[in-house]
Amino acid sequence: MDGIVVIDKPAGFTSHDVVSKVKRILGAKKAGHTGTLDPMATGVLPVCINEATKLAQFLSVENKTYLATMLLGVRTDTQDIEGKVTHESDQVVAEEDIRRAMRKMVGKISQTPPAFSALKHKGKPLYKYARKGEFPEVSPREVEIFSLDIREIALPRVTFEISCSKGTYIRTICEDVGNMLGCGACLSGLRRRQSGFFTEALALALEEDNADGMKTKLSDGMLTMAKCLPAFTAVEVSESQADKLRDGFQPDAVLSPNDVLPFLAVGDMIKFVSPEGHLVAVGQSNGPVSGVKTIRVFNKND
C-alpha cells in the first residue's frame, strides 16, 4: 500500500497527530506529511504512505493557497489568537487603509519566521527555545505572495484568500499588516485550500465512529504516486527496464535515445512509469546531450 491520502485536517490536531492516526488506521509502516499546519488550522494535509514518503522532497516546495481571517487590534506572542495577548488597541481603521496595506504584501517580500514556529535552529524547533524564553536571532527570508484577495471586511476581522510560495507564514502577514496600520493584528482563523496539486476536493475527513469504514475510505481515496506528480514528464518503461532502474542503472544506460523526449530542457523533471502505471523512478534532465540523472527510485510494491 503506497500512495498519498489527502486529509482535511480538523482544528485542534497537530499535523503529527493526523499522520499518526492515518498510519494507525491503514496499518502503514511509514507515513509523513508534506507541510506542517498549525493546530488551529484546518484543511488540506497530504499524508504520504510507505514508499510515497520518498515523494515529500518534490511536493513540499509547491505553492499553497489559504483562506485566512485577521483580527485587528490584538497582538500576541505567537502572532495568532491562541497566543498570549501582548497588546490591544481600539484604534478605528479605515477600510481603504486596510486594502492599501494588504496590497503592499503582494509580490516578493522579506519575512522573519515567528519565534513560535517549527522552523529549526541548530537542529531544534524555534518554539522550543521560545517556550524557555529564549529567542535566537533568525535571518529574514524572501517569500512570494502571488495574490491576496480580501473576501470580507467585518471589523475588527478581515477575511482574505492568499496564494503564496513555500515557507510563507500567514500569521506573520497578519502581524506585519497590523504594524503597518498601527493597531496591531493577529491571525484568528486559517484554512489551507490547496497545496500544489492537492485541493479541498480531494480531502477526506477523519471520522471517529467506524475504524473499518475509515480504513476503506482512506484506501479507496488514496492517490497513486505517479498521479501525484502531474507536472513531471511521464516516460513509460517496460518491466525489464523498470527492474534495471530499480537496481541502480542510470536511465541513459537502460533506455534508447527515443525513450526520453529529446526536447527536454535542463532541469526538467521526469517520472518513469511501468506499463501498469506504477512509479518506478524520478529523474532530472541535464539536456539532450548529457541525458537524464536518476534522483529517486521506488520499490516495486507500489
Q: Which domain holds residue 176?
A: 64-195
Q: Are residues 70 and 158 in the same domain?
A: yes
**Would 172 be classed as within a structural domain?**
yes
Asked which of 207, 226, 245 is the last residue of a domain, the reply is 226
pLDDT at 93 over 50: yes
User: What is the model's pTM?
Assistant: 0.89
How confident is the model over 157-216, as pLDDT tens digits?
Answer: 999 999 999 889 999 999 999 999 999 999 999 999 999 999 999 999 987 666 778 899
How confident is the model over 231-240, as pLDDT tens digits?
Answer: 998 989 999 9
pLDDT at 51 over 90: yes
How does DSSP assign the chain, residue by residue?
--EEEEEEEPTT--HHHHHHHHHHHHT-S-EEESS---TT-EEEEEEEEGGGGGGHHHHTTS-EEEEEEEEETEEETTSBTTS-EEEE------HHHHHHHHHTTSEEEEEPPPSSSS-EETTEEHHHHHHTT-------EEEEEEEEEEEEEETTEEEEEEEE-TT--HHHHHHHHHHHHTS-EEEEEEEEEEETTEEGGG-EE--SS-HHHHHHHHHHHPBPTGGG-TTSEEEE--HHHHHHHHTT--HHHHS-TTTS-TTPPTT-EEEEE-TTS-EEEEEEE--TTT-EEEEEE--S--
How many separate domains does the chain show?
Answer: 3
Q: Which pLDDT score is estimated for 266? A: 86
**Would 99 be classed as within a structural domain?**
yes
Q: Catalytic residue positions?
A: 38
**Would 108 be classed as within a structural domain?**
yes
Q: Are residues 102 and 119 in the same domain?
A: yes
